[in-house]
C-alpha cells in the first residue's frame, strides 16, 4: 500500500508530529511505502493564484478553473503544485494530520486543497463522489483538539465533531471519490497527562493497524439523488 500523509502543524515536537511519526513507523513497519508532505517544513504557500501555473490561458483575467483545465492540457502546473498532485494520484491511502483550529483545519492545509485539487485533473467532467478520480482509495482525518470529547458531542458547547469535520470528510475526501474512514480524534492532548497521551498514541496505532479492515462512512450514491441533487423520495 502507498500512504500519503499531509501534515499541518508548525511544531516538530507537537503531538501532531508524534502522530505522524507513529503513522510512518506503523505503515513502513508493515512493508508499505509512505510519503509525508510536512506543509510548514516545506514552506508551502497556501495562497492560490496565477503562480499555480507556468503559463496562462487568459493573462488578462484570472479564473482558476479555466487556468487549471489549461494546465492539464499543457502540463502547465507550477512544480510545487504538480508534485503534490502526483503524490495524490500515487497513493492508495491519504491521511490529513492536523489540529482543529477555529472549528476547521489550519489555513495552510485548506490552501493545499485549494491549489492541489485542480479542475479537470482531480475533479470535474462528472468525476465526483462515487465517480471520483480517487475511487478505490481510502482517506482519513487525524485530528487533535483543544477541548475534551464532551465538548464536541451533539449537545456539547463546540458542536458535534462529525458536523465540524463534514467539510473535510465529505467536501474534500468523498467529493473526489475516496472511501472515507471515520476520523481519529485525540482529545485535548496538550492538557492531558503523559500517560493519557501515551494511551492516545496506542489507540492511534491500533486504528492504523486496522486500516484495511475499518468500515468507511456510508454516503448515499449519486444514483440516490434526483436532478436537483436532493435525495429521491422513497
201-206 contacts at long range (C-beta below 8 A, 24 or more positions apart): 201/18, 201/19, 201/22, 204/19, 204/22, 204/23, 204/142, 205/22, 205/26
| pLDDT one-digit tens code per residue, 53-95 | 999 999 999 999 999 999 999 999 999 999 999 999 999 999 9
- Interval 26-42 mean pLDDT: 97
Tell me the three state secondary structure of residue 113.
Answer: helix
State pLDDT tens for residues 198-210: 999 999 999 999 9
pLDDT band, very low/low/confident/very high, at 114 (cuts 50, 70, 90): very high
Q: Identify the band that residue 192 occupies on the pLDDT scale cut at 50, 70 and 90.
A: confident
> 169: which DSSP letter?
I
For residue 233, CA distances in Å to 5, 220, 226 come to 39, 13, 9
What pLDDT is stored for residue 82 in this prediction? 97
Report how far Cα 190 is from the mean position of its chain's Cα atoms. Answer: 23
pLDDT band at 234; cut points 50, 70, 90:
confident
Q: What is the DSSP code (8-state) at residue 220?
A: -
DSSP character for 93?
A: E
Q: Is the dihedral of CA 203, 204, 209, 215 positive or negative?
A: positive
Per-residue model confidence as pLDDT tens digits over 38-49? 999 999 999 999
CATH assignment of 2-231? Answer: 3.40.50.360
Cell of 178: 475516496
pLDDT digits (tens, 9 = 90+) for 2-26: 999 999 999 999 999 999 999 999 9
71-78 contact pairs (CB < 8 A, 24+): 71/118, 71/121, 72/118, 72/119, 72/120, 72/121, 77/52, 77/53, 77/118, 78/51, 78/52, 78/53, 78/54
Phi, psi for 7 (deg, rounded to 5): -105, 130
Q: What residue segments make up the domains of the chain, in order of their start?
A: 2-231
Looking at residue 197, the DSSP 8-state letter turns out to be: H
What local confidence, expressed as pLDDT, does residue 206 receive? 95
Amino acid at each position: 500500500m502507498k500512504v500519503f500523509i499531509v501534515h499541518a502543524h508548525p511544531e516538530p515536537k507537537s503531538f501532531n508530529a508524534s502522530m505522524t511519526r507513529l503513522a510512518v513507523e506503523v505503515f513502513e513497519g508493515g512493508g508499505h511505502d509512505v510519503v509525508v508532505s510536512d506543509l510548514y517544513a516545506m514552506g508551502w504557500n497556501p495562497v492560490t493564484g496565477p503562480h499555480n501555473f507556468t503559463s496562462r490561458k487568459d493573462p488578462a483575467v484570472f479564473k482558476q478553473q479555466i487556468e487549471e483545465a489549461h494546465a492539464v492540457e499543457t502540463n502547465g502546473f507550477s512544480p510545487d503544485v504538480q508534485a503534490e498532485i502526483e503524490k495524490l494520484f500515487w497513493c492508495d491511502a491519504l491521511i490529513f494530520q492536523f489540529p482543529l483550529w477555529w472549528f476547521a483545519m489550519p489555513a495552510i492545509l485548506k490552501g493545499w486543497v485549494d491549489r492541489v485539487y485542480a479542475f479537470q485533473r482531480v475533479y470535474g467532467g462528472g468525476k465526483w463522489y462515487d465517480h471520483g478520480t480517487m475511487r478505490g482509495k481510502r482517506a482519513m482525518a487525524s485530528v487533535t483538539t483543544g477541548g475534551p470529547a464532551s465538548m464536541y458531542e451533539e449537545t456539547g458547547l463546540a458542536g458535534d465533531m462529525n458536523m465540524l469535520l463534514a467539510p473535510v470528510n465529505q467536501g474534500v475526501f468523498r467529493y473526489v471519490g475516496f472511501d472515507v474512514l471515520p476520523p481519529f480524534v485525540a482529545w485535548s492532548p496538550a492538557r492531558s497527562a503523559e500517560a493519557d497521551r501515551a494511551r492516545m498514541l496506542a489507540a492511534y496505532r491500533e486504528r492504523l493497524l486496522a486500516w484495511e479492515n475499518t468500515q468507511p462512512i456510508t454516503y448515499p450514491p449519486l444514483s440516490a439523488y434526483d436532478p436537483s441533487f436532493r435525495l429521491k423520495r422513497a
